[in-house]
Amino acid sequence: QLLLALPYDTPVPGYRNNTVNTMRLWSARAPNDFNLRDFNVGDYIQAVLDRNLAENISRVLYPNDNFFEGKELRLKQEYFVVAATLQDIIRRFKASKFGRTALNDTHPAMAIPELMRIFVDIEKLPWSKAWLLTTQTFAYTNHTVLPEALERWPVDLVEKLLPRHLQIIYEINQRHLDHIAALFPNDVERLRRMSLIEEGGTKRINMAHLCIVGSHAVNGVAKIHSEIVRTQVFKDFAELEPGKFQNKTNGITPRRWLLLCNPGLAELIAEKIGEDYVKDLSQLAKLHAFVDDDLFIREVSKVKQENKVKFALFLEKEYKVKINPSSMFDVHVKRIHEYKRQLMNCLHIITMYNRIRRDPAKLFVPRTVIIGGKAAPGYHMAKMIIKLINAVAHVVNSDPAVGSKLKVIFLENYRVSLAEKVIPATDLSEQISTAGTEASGTGNMKFMLNGALTIGTMDGANVEMAEEAGEENLFIFGMRVEDVAELDRRGYNAREYYEKLPELKQAVDQIQSGFFSPQQPELFKDVVNMLFHHDRFKVFADYEAYVKCQEKVSELYLDAKAWTRMAVRNIAASGKFSSDRTIKEYARDIWAVEPSDVRIPPPNEPRDGA
């Protein structure tokens, strides 16, 4: 199949440095003389239809998150962008020298055999020279440890679509296995574990293994994740080449996630410590000096309140629900996935609801719980979770016994532009994945920078946030990675927790009995069945610790000044989580490129001859 790749360049301006980079995306087009033979023999219709086949390649993005679906069109897309990009890079390389390419996850893994094909078949380099160049060119960043997310392409499909690449992958694998066999004679089991080809049933290519073998560096995206990558997921490879494995903790851009979305807070910070922090976020540490400054604390609190009032008005307009702007805004926004445990939050909402109804006179710290995120189109359980949240919201929001004490909103069509509105208005950030499942997370960092407090497990970048701010300035609860492993060894029995914890039992029974879906009492039976019989993410095991931790949250919220002081300690500790720091580390440790401090004059200033 012959294709044209048409480049579309999006300018990416730097911040006040007179530099604009381009992000190049590719559109698939049929060449103009495409299928002229068909056209000439009178099959005009087929010729036009065939143009569509070519142009379908860049028509739609597969919307799955943390899930691999081995579709032929997806493999075509991956090869299409890899082939176009490498031709482009080599064209520019021949015009001027530069190197190194990052593999962001395994999606561009076909770049490894493709570059080998170019070197060996087209440029006529010997294999050993080609392989050295290839491994020095690529670096692999891993983004997930969930097994269902790892790309494992069927050999038959690759053979059908890319037969030469399959030959090259086989050759790479043969040399790789010969090397291991020489180091570990007679260790057949090790060879099986480390092969790029998985035997048994459908033969598959393990793309992560291809990336590790074909790259000079491999990294995870938070300390705990990189440790899991090194000691568990790719243990054999790390034993073979320990120097290849690194950590690069993710970061966020303070230009969008503070200046642009929260100008009130950004201005307040600038008044105290100057404007340089925007380009050097570590300077936020200077705010520690103002934790006891009552005027500053009041001003931070005022900015938060203004953001909340603004967002409450937006919610009332969009969702026709009356919001109490002085209630705690408890926010859980991220893609809907079982491992992120929106269900645990849902059980807490039901528990709060039951407590209010049981004792309406008792002091209750008012909350507006906001849950938002998208489910992949084919992910049935994620869609049922959204359905459940909405069903619970309907019951809670229309119960007069509850009034303004508790409101629940499901934010539909969650996206960056909506995140920019909700994050500055948040009091409590929910980061409650099962320990060892969230590679890093970045929403957690955005909330921290915007003066929200975090309730979370010791997972992903939460661990480093607690390290930076002090664990006493986050609401950390639940099992650690070791506890989860120990529970797996013992065997997780959900019913044990259900029988032991009356409030959990009540909440689950309500879901099961149709209390939240009286029209369809059976509606959530799949959800309940999953929670009891195949919950890989152990919601019930962390429920009690979560609810108790939430009680501590409510207690602190009653003391507005203490709450805001803790928020300021968090803001002051968030400097590490700038993407500027992340990119500097990639540049220094992986790409081997030096930062340039050459001042580029603006367009209106004359440039010298150079």
Q: In what order do the strands lie in the sheet with 453-456?
A: 406-411, 367-372, 328-333, 428-431, 453-456, 475-476
- Check whether residue 242 and residue 270 sit in a common domain: no
| Distance in angstroms (rounded) separating the CA atoms of residues 301 and 333 | 22
Nearest to 169 by CA among 188, 150, 185, 154: 154
Of 446, 538, 565, 569, the active-site residue reads: 446
Instruction: Write out 37-86 in H/E/C secondary structure.
Output: HHHHCCCHHHHHHHHHHHHHHHCCCCCCCCCCCCCHHHHHHHHHHHHHHH
Nearest to 157 by CA among 50, 59, 74: 74
pTM: 0.96
Strand partners, 26: 7
Tokens, residue 588: 């220094």
**What pLDDT was estimated at residue 63?**
86
Is 379 within a domain?
Answer: yes
- Check whether residue 445 and residue 330 sit in a common domain: yes
CB-side exposure of 63: number of CA atoms within 13 Å?
10
Query: How far does CA 55 lie from the centroid of its chain?
Result: 29
SS3 6: strand
**What pLDDT was estimated at residue 36?**
66
- Check whether residue 236 and residue 305 sit in a common domain: no
- Check whether residue 287 and residue 140 sit in a common domain: no
DSSP 530-552: HHHH--TT-HHHHHHHHHHHHHH
143 in active site: yes
334 in active site: yes
The set of residues, in sequence order, having a beta carbon less than 8 Å from that of 141 and lying 6+ positions away, is 102, 103, 104, 105, 218, 219, 220, 221, 248
- Check whether residue 203 and residue 267 sit in a common domain: no
Task: Indicate which CATH number applies to the domain containing 546.
Answer: 3.40.50.2000
| Distance set, CA 109 to CA 80, 105, 161, 212 (Å) | 12, 8, 15, 10
446 in active site: yes
CB 450 within 8 Å of CB 265: yes
Q: Which residues of the chain have pLDDT under 70?
A: 34-41, 97-99, 608-610
- Check whether residue 222 and residue 292 sit in a common domain: no
Q: What is the CA radius of gyration of the chain?
A: 27
CB 68 within 8 Å of CB 152: yes
Is 596 within a domain?
Answer: no
Tokens, residue 376: 């992949």
Tokens, residue 535: 């919950």
**What pLDDT was estimated at residue 610?**
43
- Check whether residue 445 and residue 356 sit in a common domain: yes
Is 551 within a domain?
Answer: yes
Of 248, 340, 367, 407, the active-site residue reads: 340
| Distance in angstroms (rounded) separating the CA atoms of residues 212 and 197 | 14
| Distance in angstroms (rounded) separating the CA atoms of residues 434 and 251 | 21
| Distance in angstroms (rounded) separating the CA atoms of residues 315 and 326 | 14
Is 3 within a domain?
Answer: no
Is 345 within a domain?
Answer: yes
Tokens, residue 413: 């069509």
Domain limits for position 150: 60-247
Of 29, 51, 279, 335, the active-site residue reads: 335
Q: What is the pLDDT of residues 472-526, one digit of tens each?
A: 999 999 999 999 999 999 999 999 999 999 999 999 999 999 999 999 999 999 9
Is 535 within a domain?
Answer: yes
335 in active site: yes
Cα torsion angle, 336, 337, 343, 349, sign: negative
252's enclosing H/E stretch is none
**Chosen domain end from 247, 275, 299:** 247
DSSP 298-346: HHHHHHHHHHHHHHHHHHHHHH-----TTSEEEEEES---GGGTHHHHH
With both helix axes pointing from N to C terminus, report the angle between 342-358 and 380-397 in degrees, rounded to the nearest 10: 20
Strand partners, 24: 9
SS3 580: helix
- Check whether residue 200 and residue 267 sit in a common domain: no
- Check whether residue 439 and residue 522 sit in a common domain: yes
**Chosen domain end from 192, 215, 247:** 247
Nearest to 368 by CA among 411, 327, 308: 327
Tokens, residue 73: 């069109």
- Check whether residue 434 and residue 579 sit in a common domain: yes
Spell out a b/e string for 142-163, using b for 16 or more CB atoms within 10 Å of the CB, else e.
bbbbbeebbbbbbbebbeebbe
| Distance set, CA 9 to CA 13, 90, 96 (Å) | 12, 18, 20
Is 54 within a domain?
Answer: no
SS3 456: strand
279 in active site: no
Nearest to 247 by CA among 141, 149, 145: 141
SS3 23: strand
- One-letter amino acid at 440 equals S
Residue 579 CB neighbour total at 10 angstroms: 18
- Check whether residue 234 and residue 327 sit in a common domain: no
Pairing of strands 245-247, 218-220: parallel
Residue 548 CB neighbour total at 10 angstroms: 10
**Chosen domain end from 219, 247, 275:** 247
Tokens, residue 390: 């909405």
Query: How far does CA 92 lie from the centroid of its chain?
Result: 32
- Check whether residue 70 and residue 173 sit in a common domain: yes
| Residue found under tokens 């691999």 | 68
| Residue found under tokens 């030469």 | 164
**What pLDDT was estimated at residue 99?**
66
**What total of structural domains would you count in the chain?**
2
Residue 528 CB neighbour total at 10 angstroms: 15
Is 131 within a domain?
Answer: yes
Of 442, 454, 457, 582, the active-site residue reads: 442
